[in-house]
Structure 1
Amino acid sequence: KELEKIRTAVVVKTYSSLIRQHQYRTPEEVASQLMEVKKFGKALFLNIRGSNPQKKTINLQDICLFFKDDKEGRANAARAFRIFSRNPQDQITKQQVIETVEQLFKERSDIATSLSNTDSMMNSLEAGLAGVLHFFAIGVYLLVWNVDILQGFSTFSATVLALSFVFGNSIRNTFEAMLFLFVQHPYDVGDWIKIDGGFYNVRKISLLNTSFSDMYGQPVTYANASIFAKPIFNLSRCTKCNEFINVEVDVGLASKFKEELTAKLHALFNFRNTEYDVSSLDVKLSGFNRENLKVNIFIFFVYLINGDDWGRKRKATDEAVQLVSDILGKYSGEIKYTYHHRLEQPAQGSGGELAGAPSP
Structure 2
Amino acid sequence: MKGLINVIRSSGLSTISNSLNKDEEITSEKKEEVDNVLPLFEGAAETGKIKRKSLKNWLGNLYLERKSLAHSLNDTKTAKEDLIVSVIVLIVDIIVCLLLMGFLTTQILVILSSQLLLAVFLFGNTAKTVFEAIIFVYLMHPFDVGDHVVVDGVQMTVEEMNILTTIFLRYDNEKILYPNSVLSTKPISNFDRSPEMSDSIEFAVDVSTSIESIKALKARIKTYLESKPQHWRPGHDLVVKEIENVNKMKMALIFTHTINFQNYGVRNSRRSELILELKKLFEELGIKYDQLQPQEVHLRYVGSAPPALQP
Bin for the TM-score computed over the shorter chain: 0.7 to 0.9
Question: Residues 160, 339 of structure 1: CA spacing in aligned structure 2 closer, same or farther, 3 A cutoff?
Answer: farther
Question: Paired residue for 2:113, among 150, 157, 160?
Answer: 157
Partners of 1:82 and 1:249 in 2: CA distance: 37
| Residue correspondence of structure 1 range 256-271 to structure 2 within 5 A | 256-271=212-227
Greater CA drift, 90-99 or 130-139: 130-139
Per-residue CA deviation, residues 97-144 of structure 1 (Å, 9 max, x unaligned), is: 2343233233323222222212211112222333555577679989xx
Q: How does 1:15-30 map to 2 (within 5 A)?
A: none
User: Of 283, 295, 306, which residue of structure 1 is paired with 2:238?
Assistant: 283
Q: Name the SS for the 1:182 alignment partner.
A: helix
Cα separation, 2, equivalents of 1:207 and 1:62: 54
After superposition, the Cα gap between the structure-2 partners of 1:162 and 1:340, relative to the gap in structure 1 and judged at 3 Å, is farther
State the partner residue of 1:80. Answer: 37
Return the alpha-carbon distance in structure 1 between the equivalents of residues 287 and 34 of structure 2: 51
Q: Distance in 2 between matches of 1:48 and 1:311?
A: 32
Two-structure CA RMSD over aligned residues (Å): 3.5
**1:306 has 2:248 as partner:** no
TM-score w.r.t. the length of structure 1 is 0.69
Identical-pair percentage: 19
Question: Following the alignment from structure 1 to structure 2, what is the Cα–Cα distance between the partners of residues 131 and 223?
Answer: 23
Distance in structure 1 (CA, Å) of the matches to 2:46 and 2:260 = 20
Q: Distance in 2 between matches of 1:340 and 1:302?
A: 39
Which residue type is aligned with residue 226 of structure 2? N
Partners of 1:61 and 1:199 lie apart in 2 by 44
Gaps of 5+ in 2: 296-301, 304-311
Contact 2:157/2:169 (8 A) holds in 1: yes
The one-letter code sitting in structure 1 at the alignment partner of 2:168 is: F
Shift of residue 295, structure 1, vs aligned partner = 1.0
Counterpart of 1:293, as a letter, is N
- How far apart, CA to CA, are the structure 2 residues paired with 1:312 and 1:217? 18
1:253 positional shift: 0.5
Tell me if structure 2 keeps the 8 A contact 1:194–1:200.
yes
| Structure 2 residue 20 is matched with structure 1 residue 58 | yes
Could you tell me how far apart the structure 1 residues matched to 2:260 and 2:289 are? 37
Who is 2:306 aligned against?
none
1:40-99 per-residue CA deviation (whole Å, 9 max, x = no partner) reads x9xx96864634x653223444563231xxxxx112123333443375125544344234
Distance 1:218 1:233 in 2: 19
- The question of 1:317 aligning with 2:271 is answered yes
One-letter amino acid of the counterpart of residue 250, structure 2: N
Distance 2:151 2:231 in 1: 26
Distance in 2 between the 1:129 and 1:324 partners? 61
Distance 2:150 2:103 in 1: 59
- The one-letter code of the counterpart of 1:130 is I
Is the 1:191–1:236 Cα contact (8 Å) retained in structure 2?
yes
Aligned length, in residue pairs: 294
Aligned twin of 1:107: 65
Contact 1:192 1:234 in 2 (8 A): yes
8 Å Cα contact 1:238/1:306 also seen in 2: yes
SS at match of 2:267: helix
Q: Distance in 2 between matches of 1:214 and 1:131?
A: 36
Q: In 2, distance between residues paired with 1:86 and 1:327?
A: 23
Compute the displacement of 1:335 (Å). 4.3
Aligned to 2:290: 336
> Where in structure 1 are there 5+ consecutive unaligned residues?
1-9, 12-40, 68-72, 342-358
